[in-house]
Amino acid sequence: MTMIPVLPPPRAPLNLPDFINSDSKLRDAAQKLESTFLAEMLKSAGLGASRSSFGGGVGEDQFSSFLREAQADEMARSGGIGLAESLFHAMKIRLDA
């Protein structure tokens, strides 16, 4: 009896608009990941921590995370630390393989 080899499922062909759309989705995902990473780094660095005297109180504590996230988003959009670009290329290679 002849064994039939198991073949991987066929890949759907990518036309140009899907390819461009795929790249933009990958870039967005990489940028969001870098932004999240930067927000955590800013939090660890103490950005937005309550001040002991003349602080904003409970309101400052509740909204400081929004400020950190907005600052991290802007940092990532303006180039960040290069993490998004590295992530994009790694994901692109993984998808093309």
How many Cβ atoms sit within 10 Å of the Cβ of residue 22?
14
Q: What is the pLDDT of residue 16?
A: 47
Q: What is the pLDDT of residue 11?
A: 57
CA distance linking residue 80 with residue 97, whole number of Å? 27
Contact 95, 22 (CB under 8 A): yes
Q: What is the pLDDT of residue 35?
A: 96
* pLDDT, tens digit only, all 97 positions of the chain: 677 677 666 555 555 455 556 788 899 999 999 999 999 999 999 877 766 666 667 777 778 889 899 999 999 999 889 999 999 999 888 888 6
Q: What is the pLDDT of residue 21?
A: 66
Contact 28, 77 (CB under 8 A): no
Q: What is the pLDDT of residue 89?
A: 92
